[in-house]
């Protein structure tokens, strides 16, 4: 390793220095580095040793993560590594998948989310979700926003709530004259903001976003990202994204998930958290070699 | 560069190019079979119904349709002048209404339970297979079941419904139930699951999700299935005969506890009469039955279009 080809683009750290060679370490194979979640003060959700199973196959292994309050946390990683699975643990949407079960603990404001007997219906009002493909109800814009509030027994003035939610989702000016038109008549980006407005109307504490912009064009994506930035004053946001620029632009903390190599050898796809750090650190100075490989585009 | 001849492929054959149009023509013939045969049959029936004697056009479906079919009770009356279908029309409409009343809530309920509330697994597969098999059971079997269960109540006289409209309608309801369940399941399955997820993620219960989003979106499919099923029931003869529709009666049922006759049963009875006049009476009855069925279907289509939900 003394001479290097001048044509190779070198990573910022020279390769002969990148694996930290500790002379005291007798084992050449490194154990999977344990992410250090303890850097988050006062987390809203905190998961410890979380494992998720779909039937007999393990989808997530030993996940430790703390979701910081009123911040945006991004989950990135290659396809099939369990980002969405982790997201769906937070509002128990995995319950809808037959055979799914959780082990370990996830605490949300004193509630143990891994406990199968908790009221998932009540939980989901407090932990809202925005999906990959905009999925407004085939009803009017007004009904789209009002329905969730109504079934949850909202006692206040519904017109006011609808306007407030649409304003908060930066959609009010565009739809104020056509509240009774179908939500499906809107453009894709508007539909996605309508879905956000609908989620805001039930006053959640956390908003989970599962690749909310992957079906949108760049302009609509920028609007949704601006919106997320405003919303984090009042809400905690967790976003799954395949777009690393988006994660970098929007989030405060980033968790990079990876497939567990031991499981891949055994023919399974099990996700683990490779690294969980402040976004700026993860993208500029990742401590995990797999994360570095992923964000520089060498794997995934 | 020109195309180089290659020996690896067969030279172009005319037969290959002709195969497509030939197949298309064969499919066209297959399509026409149904249409042509149906038109011929309808024409023959109409001709038979309308062509009875030159002085009586519209003989059987004109004023006589509203006569009571009483020729069997008063055999002294020689002919068909008193033959009519009023009792059958009333009986069939009663049956129709009561069958819908029993079968639709039960069928839709069963389908919602299976699709929305039962996790996929062995239990669901077992029920599913049962229902699919029930849909294929011949109608006469339902007739026998209805006779034992509703008409006679296995000999428990106090529960027996006798040969009343109740018994007939319950029997027909059993007959159409599997078809309604299967059609409703199909309609529920076509509702995208993203809609359910959207509702559930807002903190809705399963019941609220089904009531406000899934069922309304499935209504067109449910209606189509129900109407097809009920149309079949209203044309059924065998089970109604079995549970005691009278061959001919000279009164009209006033309530669901009354005895009755049904249009197809009356048609069958007139058709087996030896007198040639009765052939046109039977043909008139067939036209009448068709008119009722087509009216039903048109109403259904109107309702279906009204309920149609805009899709993306």
Closest Cα of chain A to B203: distance in Å?
4
Which residues of chain A have a CB within 8 Å of the CB of B121?
98
Residue A256 lies in a domain: yes
Parallel/antiparallel/unpaired status of strands A100-108 and A43-54: antiparallel
Give whole-number Cα distances, B75 to A72, B82, B273, in Å.
90, 11, 12
Taking an 8 Å cut-off on Cβ atoms, the answer to whether A202 and B120 are in contact is: no
CATH number for the domain that contains residue A88: 3.40.50.300
Q: Please report which confidence band the pLDDT of residue A248 belongs to, taking 50, 70 and 90 as the band edges.
A: very high
pLDDT value at B79 more than 50: yes
What is the domain range of residue A93? 43-295
Same domain, B126 and B267: yes
Residue A178 lies in a domain: yes
Q: Which residue has the higher pLDDT, A242 or B49?
A: A242
Candidates B194, B196, B200; nearest CB to A124: B200
Of chain A, the percentage scoring pLDDT greater than 90 comes to 54
What is the domain range of residue B14? 3-49
Taking an 8 Å cut-off on Cβ atoms, the answer to whether B203 and A93 are in contact is: no
What's the rounded mean pLDDT across residues B195-220? 93
Tell whether A161 is within 8 A of chain B (Cβ): no
Tell whether A198 is within 8 A of chain B (Cβ): yes
What's the rounded mean pLDDT across residues B85-108? 89
Give whole-number Cα distances, A34 to A176, A265, B100, B227, in Å.
50, 20, 64, 62
What's the rounded mean pLDDT across residues B11-30? 88
Closest Cα of chain B to A199: distance in Å?
6
Same domain, B266 and B225: yes
pLDDT at B70: 54
CA A239 to chain centre: 3
Residue A213's SS3 state is coil
How does the average pLDDT of chain A come out, rounded? 85
Quote the CA–CA distance of B17 and B12 in Å, as a whole number: 9
- As for how many domains chain A has, the answer is 1
Q: Which residue has the higher pLDDT, A64 or B297?
A: A64
pLDDT value at B9 more than 60: yes
Candidates B201, B203, B312; nearest CB to A122: B203
Residue B202's SS3 state is coil
What's the rounded mean pLDDT across residues A225-232? 91
Candidates A138, A148, A151; nearest CB to B310: A138
- Sorted by sequence, the CB contacts under 8 Å of residue B112 that are 6+ apart come out as B184, B188, B210, B215
Residue A33 lies in a domain: no
Same domain, B10 and B137: no
Asked if A276 and A35 count as a contact pair (C-beta separation under 8 A), the reply is yes
pLDDT value at B176 more than 90: yes
pLDDT at B65: 65
pLDDT value at B122 more than 70: yes
pTM value surpassing 0.90 = no
CATH number for the domain that contains residue B266: 1.10.3720.10
- As for how many domains chain B has, the answer is 2
Residue A43's SS3 state is strand
Same domain, B265 and B150: yes
Task: Please count the residue pairs, one from chain A and one from chain B, whose beta carbons lie less than 8 angstroms apart.
Answer: 73
Asked if B61 and B49 count as a contact pair (C-beta separation under 8 A), the reply is yes
Same domain, B24 and B154: no
Quote the CA–CA distance of B88 and B253 in Å, as a whole number: 10
Residue A256's SS3 state is strand
Residue B297 lies in a domain: yes
Residue A27 lies in a domain: no
Which one of A55, A130, A134, A138 would you mutate to disrupt binding with B, by most B Cβ within 10 Å of its Cβ?
A: A138
Quote the CA–CA distance of B194 and B187 in Å, as a whole number: 15
Q: Please report which confidence band the pLDDT of residue B211 belongs to, taking 50, 70 and 90 as the band edges.
A: very high
pLDDT value at A50 more than 70: yes
Which one of B117, B196, B203 would you mutate to disrupt binding with A, by most A Cβ within 10 Å of its Cβ?
A: B203
Same domain, B128 and B214: yes
pLDDT at A139: 92
Closest Cα of chain A to B183: distance in Å?
22
Tell whether A92 is within 8 A of chain B (Cβ): no
Quote the CA–CA distance of B242 and A59 in Å, as a whole number: 58
Same domain, B21 and B146: no
Quote the CA–CA distance of A177 and B98 in Å, as a whole number: 47
């Amino acid at each position: 390793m003394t001479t290097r080809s001048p044509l190779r683009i070198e990573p910022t750290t020279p390769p002969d220095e990148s694996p930290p060679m500790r002379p005291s370490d007798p084992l050449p194979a490194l154990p999977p580095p344990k992410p250090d979640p303890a850097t988050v003060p006062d987390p809203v959700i905190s998961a410890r040793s979380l494992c998720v199973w779909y039937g007999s196959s393990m989808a997530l292994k030993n996940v430790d993560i703390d979701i910081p309050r009123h911040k945006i946390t991004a989950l990135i990683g290659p396809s099939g590594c369990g980002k969405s699975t982790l997201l769906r643990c937070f509002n128990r949407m995995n319950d809808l998948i037959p055979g799914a079960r959780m082990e370990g603990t996830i605490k949300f404001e004193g509630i143990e989310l891994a406990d199968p007997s908790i009221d998932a219906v009540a939980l989901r009002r407090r932990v809202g979700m925005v999906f990959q493909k905009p999925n407004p109800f085939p009803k009017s814009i007004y009904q789209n926003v009002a329905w969730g509030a109504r079934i949850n027994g909202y006692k206040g003035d519904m017109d006011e709530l609808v306007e407030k939610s649409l304003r908060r989702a930066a959609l009010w000016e565009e739809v104020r004259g056509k509240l009774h038109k179908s939500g499906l008549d809107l453009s894709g980006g508007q539909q996605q903001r309508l879905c956000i407005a609908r989620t805001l109307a039930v006053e959640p504490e956390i908003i989970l976003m599962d690749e909310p912009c992957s079906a949108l064009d760049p302009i609509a994506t920028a609007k949704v990202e601006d919106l997320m930035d405003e919303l984090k004053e009042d809400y905690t946001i967790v976003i799954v994204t395949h777009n690393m620029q988006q994660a970098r632009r929007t989030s405060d903390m980033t968790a990079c998930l990876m497939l567990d190599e031991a499981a891949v050898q055994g023919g399974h796809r099990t996700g683990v958290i490779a690294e969980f750090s402040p976004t700026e650190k993860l993208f500029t100075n990742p401590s995990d070699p797999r994360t570095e490989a992923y964000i520089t585009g060498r794997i995934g | 560069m020109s195309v180089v001849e290659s020996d690896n492929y067969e030279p172009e054959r005319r037969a290959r190019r002709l195969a497509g149009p030939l197949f298309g023509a064969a499919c066209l013939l297959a399509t026409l079979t149904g249409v042509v045969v149906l038109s011929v049959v309808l024409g023959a029936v109409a001709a038979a119904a309308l062509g009875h004697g030159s002085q009586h056009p519209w003989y059987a479906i004109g004023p006589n349709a509203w006569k009571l079919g009483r020729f069997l009770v008063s055999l002294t009356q020689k002919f068909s002048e008193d033959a009519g279908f009023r009792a059958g029309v009333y009986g069939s409409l009663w049956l129709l209404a009561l069958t819908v009343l029993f079968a639709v809530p039960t069928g839709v309920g069963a389908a919602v339970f299976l699709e929305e509330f039962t996790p996929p697994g062995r239990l669901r597969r077992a029920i599913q297979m049962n229902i699919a098999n029930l849909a294929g059971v011949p109608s006469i079997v339902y007739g026998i079941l209805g006779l034992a269960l509703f008409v006679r109540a296995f000999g428990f006289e106090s529960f027996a419904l006798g040969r009343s409209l109740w018994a007939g309608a319950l029997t027909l309801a059993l007959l159409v139930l599997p078809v309604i369940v299967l059609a409703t399941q199909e309609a529920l399955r076509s509702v995208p699951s993203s809609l359910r997820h959207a509702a559930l993620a807002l903190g809705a219960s399963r019941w609220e999700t089904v009531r406000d989003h899934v069922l309304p979106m499935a209504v067109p499919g449910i209606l189509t299935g129900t109407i097809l099923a009920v149309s079949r029931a209203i044309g059924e003869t065998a089970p109604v005969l079995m549970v005691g529709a009278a061959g001919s009666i000279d009164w009209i049922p006033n309530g669901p506890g009354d005895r009755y006759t049904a249009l197809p049963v009356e048609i069958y009875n007139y058709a087996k009469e030896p007198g040639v006049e009765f052939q046109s009476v039977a043909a008139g009855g067939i036209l009448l039955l068709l008119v009722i069925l087509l009216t039903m279907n048109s109403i259904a289509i109107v309702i279906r279009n009204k309920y149609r939900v805009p899709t993306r």
